[in-house]
Amino acid sequence: MYPRVILKGTLFKKSQQKRRTSPCNYKERYFVLNTQDLTYSERRPGKKPIQKGCIELCRIKCVEIVRSDVPIPCEFKYPFQVVYDSYYLYIFAPDNDSRLKWVRALKEETKHNSLSLTYHPDFWGDGRWRCCGQAEKLAPGCSEYYPTGTASKKPLPPTPETQPRLSSSEQKIVVALKNFSSVEETDIPLHKGEEYVVIDSSEPNWWTVRDKDGNVGMVPCMYITEKLLNNIEKYEWYNKDITRTEAEELLMNENKEGAFMVRDSRQAGVYTVSVFTKAPGSNGEKNPRVKHYKIRETMSEGIQFYLAEKYLFSTIPELINYHQYNAAGLITRLRHCVSRDTGNSPRTKEIASEKWEVDPEDLTFGEELGCGQFGVVLEGYWRGNKVAIKTVRKDSMSDEDFKEEAKIMMKLAHPKLVKLYGVCMQHSPICLIFEFLENGCLMDFLRAKKGSFKQEDLLGMCLDVSEAMAYLESSNFIHRDLAARNCLVSEKYEVKVSDFGMTRIVLDDLYISSEGSKFAMKWSPPEVINYTRFSSKSDVWSFGVLMWEVYSEGRLPYEYRSNSEVIASLNAGDRLLQPRLCPETVYQLMQWCWKEKPEDRPSFALLLHQLASLADL
């Protein structure tokens, strides 16, 4: 009986390295799969094809997609592998569809062979397997091999030796948002809520995934969401293997409002946030006490996490970061993380504080520069540096918060951020010691030099601020009060961002609360005005207003309108108008910053990129 042809078509193959020195090259071949073998031939126009290879199907041990990020130097970019005897043949298909057809057909034809139990999902290169790093070409595979692509035959459960060695952090897992029924032969169905391992995500709309039974096929990306693995072990606030009682003990010892940690809940796979508070309880609760909040999950738009109220986040670190700034239903915001490992040895604390405490003996106080929100600002000297000394009235902030915030602010260092050198607690009022910037506050500078700016000056100012903000964004730090009045101008006319984090150390409700008279309503997005919901994306809105201030040369936004009129016009979809000096491209960026929904606004990283490319023109 003649063998029946199953599939045929042009593919590329990587030629076998027979000799070590032979270069690795890619050849176009015409492949034919029939019920007996897989052959490939060279086809030349007008000539008879020459068969270049033939692999009997009974010798094939593994057929699988190659998951790799190495650039593929031939026209066809979708690799799969055929492992037979001890050879690896790499074949490249023109698209994912075609690759899947070949892999499926080959698997189907070889599924009864005595197959490998494991395989290498990536290429061999530079003397090692790229997937597992093993330096022996014949080293056993590092991933479990599924010999069949159809549900009709489930793979055998792996034996302990053949457990996939790919760690979960290397695997991308997705969860189905909806049910999906296969339309084409190369698809597999999706069942809402089930997890799938991503095998190939190079296609923008259709990914190749493997379900729990080992079936491989394509699914529409719209129907799945990435399960961001909550790699939380690296975070200081996470305490692995700590009991509720131990957590309570540590937090009570710390005795600080908002001291918190994340720990494993008794229920496997669930986490709990434990937080210390001195706030009075409602029904005779102990005071002070530790409250425990379970981190809950919901599946409405992919897996999302939340705590007390439904403020949803796709990862636990994002959720914690948010609640470090916003109580949002918790008894207090998460202020100081407590970790069992860092310990609270008095010695470490002492050393840390030495670095940020400035000795008043080293300070020389000079003339008054201006009057700030929290007190007078003086010029001065500290260890030979000209500095700005910001005094803070004692009643305007809590001592404890102040130290913690100042420590965080000191850790932030970027050429476009005004450097905080240290704080002086031994002086009354308390002082913050900042780098001195000769040309003072940006808003005053813009007004004073009105009419003299070139386009590149204005764009350069926005670019400077976006650099600082992209840095704060990447440090998970929210400014909360970005505006031209809170930026300063250096001797070389660079703009630097100042006052970052200051709103977190003041107790002044007029400043913090959206109803307060000092609240920067005209720089705030709707979610801050309505729910005090700060984020890097609320900073992005403020940055849009700052760009507007720059291009208006220091005008006040919505100058003749009251706060309530501004809210009404924002709700109606109106935005600040395009300043006369502002090019269309920049105004488009401003409007992007003022999108109603925070998630529709660009990140600072993106804004920086856009502004930089405008500056290059």
**CA 382 – CA 384 distance, rounded (Å):** 5
Q: Between residues 81 and 373, which has the closer beta carbon with respect to ligand ADP?
A: 373
**CA 204 – CA 96 distance, rounded (Å):** 11
Q: Between residues 149 and 501, which has the closer beta carbon with respect to ligand ADP?
A: 501
As measured in angstroms, the least distance from the Cβ of 438 to ligand ADP is 7
As measured in angstroms, the least distance from the Cβ of 610 to ligand ADP is 28
Among 166, 279, 327, 369, binds ligand ADP (CB under 6 A): 369
As measured in angstroms, the least distance from the Cβ of 488 to ligand ADP is 5
Among 66, 188, 290, 388, binds ligand ADP (CB under 6 A): 388
- Pairing label, strands 420-424, 385-392: unpaired
As measured in angstroms, the least distance from the Cβ of 163 to ligand ADP is 58
As measured in angstroms, the least distance from the Cβ of 437 to ligand ADP is 4
Per the document, the length of the chain is: 617
| Candidate segments 211-219, 296-304, 485-493, 513-521, binder of ligand ADP by CB under 6 A | 485-493
Residue that is written with structure tokens 């990435």 in the block: 226
- Pairing label, strands 206-210, 216-220: antiparallel
**CA 267 – CA 359 distance, rounded (Å):** 50
CA atoms within 13 A on the CB side of 407: 15
Q: Between residues 263 and 390, which has the closer beta carbon with respect to ligand ADP?
A: 390
Q: What is the CA radius of gyration of the chain?
A: 31
Can you read off the two tokens belonging to residue 102? 């070949």
DSSP string for residues in 266-335: SSTT-EEEEEEE-SPPSSS--SSEEEEEEPEEE-BTBSEEESSS---BSSHHHHHHHHHH--TTSSS---
Q: Does 363 bind ligand ADP (CB under 6 A)?
A: no
Q: Between residues 61 and 485, which has the closer beta carbon with respect to ligand ADP?
A: 485
- Pairing label, strands 238-239, 259-264: parallel
Cis peptide before 220 (omega within 30 of 0): no
Q: Does 189 bind ligand ADP (CB under 6 A)?
A: no
b/e code 38-55 from CB counts within 10 Å (16+ = b): bbbbeeeeeeeeeeebeb
Q: Between residues 259 and 406, which has the closer beta carbon with respect to ligand ADP?
A: 406
As measured in angstroms, the least distance from the Cβ of 582 to ligand ADP is 25
As measured in angstroms, the least distance from the Cβ of 419 to ligand ADP is 9
Is residue 481 annotated as part of the catalytic site, yes or no?
A: yes
As measured in angstroms, the least distance from the Cβ of 481 to ligand ADP is 8
**CA 306 – CA 318 distance, rounded (Å):** 10
Tell me which residues in 414-453 interact with ligand ADP (CB under 6 A). 418, 434-437, 440-441
- Sign (positive or negative) of CA dihedral 256, 258, 264, 267: positive
Among 98, 143, 373, 535, binds ligand ADP (CB under 6 A): 373
Instruction: Compute how many other C-beta atoms are within 10 angstroms of the C-beta atom of residue 151.
Output: 12
| Candidate segments 12-20, 41-49, 102-110, 481-489, binder of ligand ADP by CB under 6 A | 481-489
Count of residues engaged in binding ligand ADP, rule: CB under 6 A? 20
Q: Between residues 30 and 365, which has the closer beta carbon with respect to ligand ADP?
A: 365
Q: Does 40 bind ligand ADP (CB under 6 A)?
A: no
As measured in angstroms, the least distance from the Cβ of 489 to ligand ADP is 9
Q: Between residues 221 and 369, which has the closer beta carbon with respect to ligand ADP?
A: 369
Q: Between residues 340 and 447, which has the closer beta carbon with respect to ligand ADP?
A: 447
**CA 112 – CA 101 distance, rounded (Å):** 19
Q: Between residues 388 and 576, which has the closer beta carbon with respect to ligand ADP?
A: 388
Name the residue whose CB lies closest to ligand ADP: 372
As measured in angstroms, the least distance from the Cβ of 356 to ligand ADP is 17
Hey, which bits of 50-103 come out as E strands? 50-56, 60-65, 78-84, 87-93
Q: Between residues 107 and 504, which has the closer beta carbon with respect to ligand ADP?
A: 504
Consecutive H or E run containing 447:
helix 442-448
Give the x-and-dash track for 322-361 against ligand ADP (CB under 6 A): ----------------------------------------
DSSP string for residues in 147-210: ---STTSPPPPPPGGGS--S-TTTS-EEEESS-B---STTB--B-TT-EEEEEE--SSSEEEEE
Residue that is written with structure tokens 């379970």 in the block: 294
Classify residue 283 as exposed, middle or buried by CB count within 10 Å of its CB (0-12, 13-18, 19+): exposed
| Candidate segments 26-34, 280-288, 368-376, 596-604, binder of ligand ADP by CB under 6 A | 368-376
Give the x-and-dash track for 488-517 against ligand ADP (CB under 6 A): x---------xx------------------
List 97, 200, 481, 539, catalytic entry? 481
**CA 394 – CA 397 distance, rounded (Å):** 6
Q: Does 377 bind ligand ADP (CB under 6 A)?
A: yes
| Candidate segments 21-29, 102-110, 482-490, 599-607, binder of ligand ADP by CB under 6 A | 482-490
Residues with catalytic function: 481
The binding site for ligand ADP (CB under 6 A) comprises 369-370, 372-374, 377, 388, 390, 418, 434-437, 440-441, 485-486, 488, 498-499
